[in-house]
Amino acid sequence: MTAPLIRTDRLDVTYGGRRVLHSIDLAIAPGEIVTIVGPNGSGKSTLLRAMIGAVRPASGGIRRAPGLRIGYVPQTLPVDPHLPMTVRRFLSLPRPVDDAAADAALSRAGLPHAGQAQLSSLSGGQRQRILLARALLNDPHILVLDEPTQGLDQAGSAAFYRQIEAIRADTGCAVLMVSHELHVVMAASDRVICLNGHVCCEGHPEHVASAPEYRALFGTGTGGALALYRHEHSHHHHDHGESA
Ligand SMILES: Nc1ncnc2c1ncn2[C@@H]1O[C@H](COP(=O)(O)OP(=O)(O)OP(=O)(O)O)[C@@H](O)[C@H]1O
């Protein structure tokens, strides 16, 4: 097996003595798309932030491949979206980038002509793509996205995840993202990890969607959407006999 880009080893994170992540073992291989799902407060953002080095583990380790470049997409725009500022200028904060790099990143993110647009004029979906473009500027080995489709409707989310898949196909980067919408991301994920302070279950998206641990957390509320997904995309679906 190829060496992972990032791996955690019995990772624990505590806030003020309260443990929010417990003994997480997780490895991301080059080029794979991994989605973390879990209820509110289950530690999803904390896990991402620990993996990029923004939160210190209480115990356990995190190993990153030497020279690893990470592209991080935060939940929301880190500047006031009403400030008068063009997209092009935003992409040069905090580090100036040349026009060729900015254009390439905007194209990859699916907004090739947005450079001169004002940030304030963008829709929620377009703003997410600008954040994605910014994360692509340093040609990352891995993209890390924290609920990138928050506030988008299902069609907008699906389009965003297709863009992520296209970027992976073009650049070969790995993707680690948090999502609430398993039924929307499952088509674009190689592996899903269901988190609730610890790893409840993981595996192929359809395996996780039908796992009792996942259903205990989320109920069967996505059953209809899953059926729709299967109907549309997997006419030859059959059970691979995986067990939790
Ligand atoms: N900086 C912090 N200081 C103290 N507690 C925090 C901090 N950040 C998060 N927490 C707490 O840690 C727990 C996990 O939070 P986290 O944001 O990682 O969960 P999440 O799964 O991403 O949640 P959501 O789905 O609501 O975004 C929550 O109980 C949260 O209140």
Q: Ligand 1 atom 31: the closest Cα is on which residue?
A: 41
Q: What is the pLDDT of residue 11?
A: 97
**What is this structure's pTM?**
0.87
With the most atoms of ligand 1 within 8 angstroms of its CB, the residue from 11, 12, 14, 20 to mutate is 20
Ligand 1: centre distance to CA 44 (Å): 8
Q: What is the DSSP string of 56-109?
A: --SEEEEEE-TT--EEEE-SS-SS-TTS--BHHHHHTSSS---HHHHHHHHHHT
Angle, in degrees to the nearest 10, between helices 154-171 and 124-136: 20
Q: What is the pLDDT of residue 188?
A: 84
ipTM of the shown complex: 0.96
- pLDDT tens digits for 77-115? 777 877 899 999 999 988 899 999 999 999 999 999 999
Ligand 1 atom with minimal separation from the 38 CA: 21
Q: Which top CATH class is 1-69+142-221?
A: alpha beta
- By CB neighbour count within 10 A (0-12 exposed, 13-18 middle, 19+ buried), where does 27 fall? middle
What kind and span of H or E run contains 232?
helix 223-233
Ligand 1 atom with minimal separation from the 48 CA: 18
- pLDDT tens digits for 213-224? 888 887 765 443
Ligand 1 site, residue 179, Cβ cutoff 6 A:
no
Q: What is the pLDDT of residue 174?
A: 98
Ligand 1: centre distance to CA 74 (Å): 14
Q: What is the pLDDT of residue 1?
A: 60
Q: What is the pLDDT of residue 135?
A: 96
Measured CA distances, 193 to 27, 35, 86, 226 (Å): 11, 6, 37, 17
Q: What is the pLDDT of residue 214?
A: 85
Ligand 1 site, residue 46, Cβ cutoff 6 A:
yes
Q: Return the domain boundaries, the chain.
A: 1-69+142-221, 77-139
Name which of 190, 177, 181, 186 is nearest 146 in CA terms: 177
Task: Give the pLDDT means over successive 10-residue stretches in the chain (244 positions).
Answer: 91 95 96 93 95 94 96 84 89 92 95 92 90 95 94 87 93 94 83 94 89 81 43 41 39
Q: What is the pLDDT of residue 221?
A: 55
Q: Ligand 1 atom 18: the closest Cα is on which residue?
A: 43
